[in-house]
Copies of this chain bind each other. A is one copy, B any other.
Amino acid sequence: MRAIFNEELQQVADDLIAMASAVHIAVDRAGQALFSQDIETAQDVIDGDKAIDALEHKINDQCVTLLAKQSPVATDLRIVVSTMSIASLLERMGDLARHIAETSRSTYPDSPFVPRIADTFTRMQSFALTTTQTLTNLVKSHDEDAAQQLIINDDVMDKLFESVVSSARNDDWDATTEQIINTVLLSRYYERMGDHAVSVARRLVYMVSGFDPTKDPSRFIGVDGDGD
């Protein structure tokens, strides 16, 4: 029974790693679509989101089957429950990569964002790319320290988002309303991606330690809420 459980759990774990990796690739391509106005790559990201959604469904089914057949407890139970949460968060990160690609496509061949914000978007993209690579490693390694490091960095995206809003207030953007809207939405997509990545890291800490860092933020530096 234990051998079967471990085998089935490994299958779910492999699918979760595949899902994190697919999200990382989607983020990479969405950035390419955004910065190079590469409409074919944008379309690939949009079309590819279905495969990420399908992985979430598969993982959920596997987890419910594991719960029903194996009745796991303690760490095993935490792994199964956390895997469902993490899959749901990764699915939303995939959606956000798709939204970035859709926004790029919507203004093709023009860039969707206000040119003077380009540097901020470059930093957001770079952070999203590093973060999704870290998540892919984390769902493999279950490295609690690395997860906590990601949680500590949780406000990088928020600060970049705030800098966009602040720049819009204080600088002369010399932009169309459509550019302003796309700039705000794109920066919001990146910010949400950062929030979801932190939530994944928190679930991983819970999975490994049984401790939920959202409940007693004082135990962790830089944990101050749930985003939305």
Contacts and interface: CB of A to CB of B under 8 A. Distances in A.
A81 interface: yes
A212 interface: yes
B57 A212 contact: yes
A2 to B, nearest CB: 16
Number of copies: 2
Interface residues of A, number: 39
Contact of A228 (B78, B99, B168): B99
A161 to B, nearest CB: 10
A95 B168 contact: no
Contacts of A227: 95
A28 interface: no
- Listed from nearest, the 8 A-B pairs whose CB atoms lie closest are A95-B228, A71-B71, A168-B177, A68-B73, A184-B184, A181-B184, A180-B180, A169-B178
